[in-house]
Structure 1
């Protein structure tokens, strides 16, 4: 079954994409063949726009995984639009987008791994502290050198997007969007995307597993998992936030869909340009996630969800305090 489409980097892609982070940036990453099965399931289901980053695992692990997938399944190379984030130190993820030599070397290394697969979109994972104009002019220079096709944006505010758009067209914006993360700044970017007809990659669309009750308590989160340090997953905040999931479960049950599917269908409903990018190593889950693009929410259901989001205050920030400064710059 086909799913609704939108154009990214000149190609038509499914309105649900695929996030590959957990396949390598994970305390216990799945075996390569397990990842391949999920990646193939995503592409076959219509999730043809993929999100990766240079730092998703040690030594460009995610990029190597993708390259190995295309070696095994070369017929998928042209089907996938590859969106890569980088411009960051691989160990601290500190922004390095103000250093053209660093970014150029990084991109050349990524291309050497990918071989003849094009980098369709490249963006900084986070903006550097340098003036935005300087950082984006670096991207334009590297684009003209042929190191990637189109320029993207990640975790940027409306004000920064306006500045960037005066320098270069933007192929896609990547920000966290979910029923668990829909603060005013995020809503503003969704509105900006709609008004400028620029697609959005909605990452963590299932609230990092919170909306699917992957964890019953903070203690269920494994050691080494990033969520151990996220305030909204800690202590009393965790249990308070579960009250939101209770409300969403009721709506999903009444509609006869999974809460995960409701959450993804809601993101698709936000505009013609939103692309949730759930990640999973389970092919059946990948298919279920992707099929959510075909679920239509009624006006009554959308109103009910909006009322819940407007009245429910999520407890705790979406990143640890030290990382919040680099969000929505």
Structure 2
């Protein structure tokens, strides 16, 4: 297993590049299980030992089942992987249920039943439900004390909520969207909070849901059933305006001698000692390339060039559809 920069999560040393598994099951056309296994193994072998999953990434705990099957095929990886599980959300409605302790117990029990003897290292709610932050995290702390998981995580929470939650229980990791495509002030504030409180950040969608890698040349390239079909920044004229950001990043990456995805991931790594990007891929070669970006250091000049671009470039369109924006960074 390759060595990349490390950080502590839930009492374990993990690579500063994680691995996001969502697209392996929550996908209109998910890859074959054996192909997913190759990418999962490649990411872990390259040093991506902290994995992000969720109980609702596909029907009937599909992502959890994929991981369980991987550990059955490769049992030696059970102790190498730190598992961060998001839950508290119904698959069919995606309604936040984190204030319902019976739902959470059932959610966690089913997850643990599927995983067998692989312990849930960190459990967090995907989104905050109705109710106060204190009430929600008192429930999570109660479940942690019952031994249902090792540590409590947080997801899509702003600084004010994190301060309240941290008084109830130590936060092992905070999962928010961080990328060169998503770095608005509220996200920047959480990055600063993470650094000062030494709480790692799981930076999800670090490649802008494939936008920064030019996975799509036009809005029409996005397949039917894909969530991005509903995301404003991927639609119409906004799509083409936003490509101008990628043009600028491509130039910097070319001069650096890396690909743009590696540049984007290295930039996140450089934000603080506590950022862990979690790119996802079903391509083993890409999974390795992404993970190796943890060892790429940008120069002061390169960082300044990127900062200057971000300070003047305004991304067109929000990162989620209208109603969903109300559940972000609460």
TM-score tier, shorter chain, comes to: over 0.9
**Equivalent residue, structure 1, for 2:322:** 321
1:140 aligns with 2:141: yes
TM-score of the superposition, structure 2-length normalised? 0.99
**Equivalent residue, structure 2, for 1:48:** 49
SS of match in other structure, 2:168: coil
SS of match in other structure, 1:139: helix
SS of match in other structure, 2:61: helix
Cα RMSD of the aligned pairs, angstroms, is 0.5
Cα separation, 2, equivalents of 1:93 and 1:162: 26
TM-score of the superposition, structure 1-length normalised? 1.00
CA positional deviation for 1:220: 0.3
Q: What are the residue-to-residue correspondences of 1:63-82 with 2, within 5 Å?
A: 63-82=64-83
* CA offsets 1:250-300 (integer angstroms, 9 cap, x no match): 000011100000000000000000000000000000000000011110000
Q: What are the residue-to-residue correspondences of 1:1-329 with 2, within 5 Å?
A: 1-329=2-330
CA positional deviation for 1:91: 1.1
* CA offsets 1:6-50 (integer angstroms, 9 cap, x no match): 000100000000000000000000000000000000110000000
CA positional deviation for 1:325: 0.5
Cα separation, 2, equivalents of 1:187 and 1:203: 14
Task: Name structure 2 gaps, 5 residues minimum.
Answer: none
SS of match in other structure, 2:202: strand
Task: Name structure 1 gaps, 5 residues minimum.
Answer: none
Cα separation, 1, equivalents of 2:63 and 2:229: 22
Cα separation, 1, equivalents of 2:3 and 2:187: 29
